[in-house]
Amino acid sequence: MPHITVKLWPGKTDAQKQALADAIVRDAMQALGASEASLSVAFEEVSPDDWADAVYQPEIKGNWDQLYKKPGYSM
């Protein structure tokens, strides 16, 4: 625990994905007190043409109250 899925547009290199996965694992271990062995990270590429219907509407706009980081807002 946890399994983290990152949805993003195609075009990122394997090295970029690995760097992000490493950062996610490092930060999740620190924030959650989880062990590295218990974490997994996956990437799901979604085309820009499909983003609004496949990701934005159902997962972002449709779950606005559950987002801890909202798009367009600074941390």
**Which residue type, as a one-letter code, is found at position 11?**
G
- Residue 30 zone, left/alpha/beta (φ > 0; ψ -120 to 50; rest): alpha
**Which residue type, as a one-letter code, is found at position 12?**
K
Catalytic residue among 2, 10, 48, 71: 2
Task: Return d(Cα 42, Cα 4) in angstroms, integer.
Answer: 6
2 catalytic, yes or no? yes
User: Which residues carry out catalysis?
Assistant: 2
